[in-house]
Amino acid sequence: MSHVKLINLTKRFDKVEVLKNINLDIKEGEIVSLLGPSGCGKSTTLKIIAGILEPDGGNILFDEKSVNSIPTGKRDASIVFQEYLLFPHMNVFENIEFGLKMKKVNKKDRKIKVEELIDLVKLSGFENKYPSELSGGQQQRVAIARTLAINPKVLLLDEPFSNLDINLRNEMREFVLNLQKKLKITTILVTHDKEEALMMSDKIAVMLNGEIKQFDTPKNLYEKPKTKCVANIFGERN
């Protein structure tokens, strides 16, 4: 079944058409990448799915139902940004707990949930540390745990690895991939890195200038590119 569907999404900033006619159909439990160069409209698409931005035209469906008029907090989608924006004055536990407090979950249930998440992102023993005492990868795992705390059905990741050094980046890619497989949570990953998209994704949407040129499996993008530009991106195995 289709979990997230975008139908003819359009978006302008001033007079610039940033998204031209975006169509996507993402199935339950899939991990899909939006792959394209800087400025092609990846983050804008993700923000529209999250409800942070409104499209000018088109529809966003979750489970075949329109969510266009549902505000961010009430949509079952949660976003992790490149700069993971932890609260510096809160420790790991409190950072993860924050969203649950906002949702008025009681203290006992918050503790159970936060401990489960700390275990999930492998940060046991770090509960009382502050963000400044953590490595980049650890901070990012806190950011992911914090996002997962509110049980989103759709996980949106906007270039989550690009601020990490190369070793940590590989480690975090594997970590997120394993977590995604374990939770079977529908995930949309924004990246400008072809290798990352290939390694992480069930399917890749190749974006250029506000359009999706092809939405397909990594195998088909290699073997059956539909346009020259897709062939150019995937033609070279390097």
Binding site for Mg ion (CB under 5 A): 43
Q: Between 61 and 208, name the residue whose CB sits nearer to ligand ADP.
A: 208
DSSP 49-109: HHTSS--SEEEEEETTEE-TTS-GGGSSEEEE-SS----TTS-HHHHHHHHHHHTT--HHH
Q: Between 41 and 55, name the residue whose CB sits nearer to ligand ADP.
A: 41
Task: Confirm or reject binding of residue 24 to ligand ADP (CB under 6 A).
Answer: no
Q: Between 41 and 131, name the residue whose CB sits nearer to ligand ADP.
A: 41
Cβ contact 146:123 at 8 Å: no
For 126, 180, 224, the CA distances from 188, given in Å and listed in that order, are 28, 11, 23
Taking the C-alpha atoms of residue 84 and residue 107, their distance in angstroms, rounded to an integer, is 25
Q: What residue number has its CB nearest to Mg ion?
A: 43
- Using CB under 6 A as the binding rule, the residues of this chain from 42 to 61 that contact ligand ADP are 42-44
Shortest approach of ligand ADP to residue 158 CB, angstroms?
A: 7
Shortest approach of Mg ion to residue 190 CB, angstroms?
A: 6
Single out the residue of 22, 40, 60, 92 in contact with ligand ADP (rule: CB under 6 A).
40
For 57, 135, 139, 144, 175, the CA distances from 31, given in Å and listed in that order, are 25, 26, 22, 15, 14
- Residue 40 binding: pick among ligand ADP, Mg ion, none (C-beta 5-8 Å cut-off by kind): ligand ADP
Shortest approach of ligand ADP to residue 193 CB, angstroms?
A: 12
Q: Between 98 and 215, name the residue whose CB sits nearer to ligand ADP.
A: 215
Q: Between 38 and 132, name the residue whose CB sits nearer to ligand ADP.
A: 38
Taking the C-alpha atoms of residue 164 and residue 141, their distance in angstroms, rounded to an integer, is 12
- Residue 39 binding: pick among Mg ion, ligand ADP, none (C-beta 5-8 Å cut-off by kind): ligand ADP
* Nearest Cα residue to 201 out of 211, 214, 191, 212: 191
Point out which residues bind ligand ADP (CB under 6 A): 13, 18, 36, 38-44
